[in-house]
């Protein structure tokens, strides 16, 4: 079928333009054209789930996450004890004058069992942001960031520290999607390394718009949750 003899017998430009809020009309015309186009063809089956097929033997998910996250420029600090991880975070952010805490971290800092006094700065003015990840993905080396914790703290400060529990490392992205799909928030961000660009002369620069440093604090504590 050629353009000249389109499904409705003439290009859309031949019809008078609908007024700009003719939503129902536009919807019906698009769906009608789609149906006209595919009606003569077979409805093909879906091939099934993506299997992430690889030639190599499967890797330990935590090791794979660390390897890929580092390869993309991320930094990883791994702790066996929640307490030592907390202490490391406190020391790390102590070097900065302004700190922005995600909602979950802020609640912990103010009311948690190990409450500490940290002054919270708006993410737009903070030098470092601290967030909690929903989990991580081994297959892609990604941290899963959810909006309940505050998106601005995840994006605006030049340094981003992310707390992630090892038990929440999903082997494959599709596993993480399946878990998220049960109660999807308004927006999920997968962060797999510091912000980067090669748009200037194909030379890699970091920290273009998002954080130039991304640090995963990976905690493998079987004890109480933070």
Partner 1 sequence: MSFTGPGRYREESAKMLRDKPEMRHSVTQATRTFDDHRTHAFGQVDGERWRDWARDVKTHLLSNLDIYLEQAEESLERNGAHVHWAETGADALAILEKIVEDNDVKRVVKAKSMLSEELAINAHLESLGVSVFETDLGEYIIQLLGEPPSHIVGPAIHRSLDDCRRLFHEHFGTPLDAEPDALAAAARIALRQEFLAADLGISGGNFLAADTGTVALIENEGNIRLSTSLPRIHVAFVGIEKLVPTLGDVAGFVQLTTRSATGQPIGNYVSLIQGPRREDEPDGPEEVHVVLVDNGRTNLLADDTAWEALRCVRCGACLNICPVYRQTGGHAYGWPYSGPIGAIIAPGLLGLEKAMPLPHASSLCGACVDVCPVRIPIPEILVHWRERAVEEGLVPLAETVGLKAYTAAAERPVVFGAAGAALRYAPLELGGRALPILSGWMQERSAPKPSPKSFMQLWKEGLE
Restricted to residues 57-76, the positions that interact with partner 1 (CB under 8 A) are: 68, 72
Residues 106-135, one symbol each (x = binds partner 1 by CB under 8 A, - = not), give ------------------x-----------
CB 220 within 8 A of CB 164: no
List binders of partner 1 among 143-162 (CB under 8 A): 147-148, 150-152, 154-156
Residues 81-110 that bind partner 1 (CB under 8 A): 103
Instruction: Please count the residues of this chain forming the interface with partner 1, following the rule CB under 8 A.
Output: 91
> With binding defined as CB under 8 A, does residue 201 bind partner 1?
yes
Among 129, 157, 171, 210, binds partner 1 (CB under 8 A): 210
Residue 151: count other Cβ atoms within 10 Å of its Cβ.
Answer: 17
163 and 133 Cβ atoms separated by less than 8 Å = yes
Considering only 81, 115, 116, 184, the residue that binds partner 1 (CB under 8 A) is 184
Burial of 131 (0-12, 13-18, 19+ CB in 10 A): buried
Binder of partner 1 out of 89, 176, 217, 218 (CB under 8 A)? 176
CA torsion through residues 63, 65, 67, 70, sign: negative
**From the CB of 105, what's the least distance to partner 1, in Å?**
12
Smallest separation, CB 81 to partner 1 (Å): 30
Q: Which residues contact 130 (CB under 8 A, 6 or more apart)?
A: 89, 93, 99, 100, 101, 102, 105, 153, 161, 162, 163
Using rule CB under 8 A, residue 180 touches partner 1? yes
214 DSSP β-pair partners: 160
Q: Between 85 and 215, name the residue whose CB sits nearer to partner 1.
A: 215
Burial of 17 (0-12, 13-18, 19+ CB in 10 A): exposed
């Amino acid at each position: 079928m050629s353009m000249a003899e389109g499904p409705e017998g003439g290009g859309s430009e031949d019809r008078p333009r609908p007024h700009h809020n003719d939503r129902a009309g536009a919807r019906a015309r698009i769906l009608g054209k789609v149906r006209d186009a595919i009606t003569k063809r077979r409805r093909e089956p879906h091939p099934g789930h993506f299997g992430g097929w690889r030639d190599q033997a499967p890797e330990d998910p935590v090791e794979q996450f660390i390897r890929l996250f580092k390869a993309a420029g991320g930094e990883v600090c791994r702790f066996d004890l929640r307490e030592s991880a907390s202490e490391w975070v406190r020391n790390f952010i102590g070097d900065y004058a302004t700190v922005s805490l995600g909602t979950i971290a802020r609640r912990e800092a103010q009311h948690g069992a190990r409450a500490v006094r940290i002054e919270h700065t708006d993410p737009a003015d903070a030098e470092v942001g601290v967030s909690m990840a929903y989990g991580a993905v081994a297959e892609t080396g990604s941290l899963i960031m959810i909006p309940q914790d505050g998106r601005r703290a995840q994006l605006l400060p030049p340094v981003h520290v992310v707390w992630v529990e090892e038990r929440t490392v999903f082997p494959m992205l599709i596993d993480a999607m399946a878990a998220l799909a049960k109660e999807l928030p308004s927006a999920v961000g997968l962060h797999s390394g510091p912000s980067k660009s090669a748009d200037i002369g194909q030379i890699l620069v970091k920290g273009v718009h998002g954080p130039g440093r991304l640090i995963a604090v990976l905690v493998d504590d079987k004890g109480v949750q933070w």
